[in-house]
Structure 1
Amino acid sequence: MQRRHALLGATAVLSGLTGCIGSFTSTVSLREVTIELRNPDDRARTFHYALETEDGMMDWESHRVDPDSDEEVTVTLDKIISPVALHGAVKDFAGSVNILGVDDLEEDYCLRFHFWSSHPSDERPQMALVADIEC
């Protein structure tokens, strides 16, 4: 299977990003969203996340991650949606990652996010959308 790459997002650090991007139209569909939750801290953390679509915000989900652990969660979709952003909160951090560049895709795709309670480079929470969109 050929790999598809697209510039999909940016990193949100502490201040978070607000607002929505314009509508995007596509004949392909988002199959699933995978979020890698990383907790390098010495105590358990609860991550909260929600996918925003053109139709509005999906339900917020929560997942507790043990100390010094990584876990993946998958958001499966039962209908075709147009993704706009992933929102998240952990500790005193709240941020968003906008989803850009998927309107030029020619086949169904998946999105993969990283969500850290403490990033190794600056020890602050971060969210990022991985550019590789292959399922």
Structure 2
Amino acid sequence: MPARRELLVASAGICLPALAGCLDVSRTDATIREVNVLLDNRDVEPRTFAFALALEDDDDDDDVKGTLEWDSRTVEANDSITATIEPPTDSIPARFYGVVDDVESTLEFDDLDAPDEEFCLYLYFWYRHPFMGDVEVERAPYLDCE
């Protein structure tokens, strides 16, 4: 019985670090080509959406390296547009910041589960979401660059 336990402990020591690399984009060779943000205004008046992408530091301590320039777009009433952010090729997104009418929302990019290749992120940034609060940001479940 002790031999089985030792084998299990030894196997876990080898397998768990290998599997952990599959869950975190910072531990893969993946690169993010672009972040596409659907700006969706469900209000009866035009709204200005301000947003920025924060980048993770390269030393694996989850510190934020910096924030790309803030961008803003005006979206007409009951309309939506798509904005594209192209992060530097050597960067890893840490979080997304969005603001409409002084109401802010932040989305953390924990465990992106990225492939070992180039991929794209898709985000929904809503004002007056029908089932949630005034300002909401969510990540879409797909990563293909199409």
After TM superposition, the score normalised by the length of structure 1 is 0.76
Query: 1:64 aligned to 67, 74, 91, which one?
Result: 74
Aligned-partner Cα distance in 2 for 1:86–1:67: 23
Amino acid in structure 2 at the alignment position of 1:94 = E
Query: 1:30 aligned to 9, 13, 32, which one?
Result: 32
Could you tell me which runs of 5 or more consecutive residues in structure 1 were left unpaired when the two chains were aligned: 1-7, 9-22
Shift of the alpha carbon at 1:50? 0.3
Query: 1:126 aligned to 113, 136, 139, which one?
Result: 136
The number of equivalent residue pairs is 115
Aligned-partner Cα distance in 1 for 2:93–2:142: 16
Instruction: Tell which has more relative contact order, 1 or 2 (C-alpha 8 A, sep 6+).
Output: 1
Shift of the alpha carbon at 1:103? 5.5
Aligned-partner Cα distance in 2 for 1:120–1:126: 10
After TM superposition, the score normalised by the length of structure 2 is 0.71
Residue 92 (str. 1) matches residue 102 (str. 2): yes
Q: CA contact under 8 A between 2:30 and 2:114: conserved in structure 1?
A: no
Q: CA contact under 8 A between 2:37 and 2:125: conserved in structure 1?
A: yes
Q: CA contact under 8 A between 1:26 and 1:103: conserved in structure 2?
A: no
Shift of the alpha carbon at 1:86? 0.6
Amino acid in structure 2 at the alignment position of 1:69 = D
Q: CA contact under 8 A between 1:25 and 1:82: conserved in structure 2?
A: no
Q: Within 5 A, what are the aligned runs for 1:81-120?
A: 81-102=91-112, 105-120=115-130
* Higher normalized helix content (fraction of residues): 2
Q: Deviations 1:99-124 (Å, cap 9, x if unpaired)? A: 12236522211000000111011452
Name the larger-Rg structure.
2
Query: Considering only aligned residues, what root-mean-square deviation do their CA atoms show, in Å?
Result: 2.1
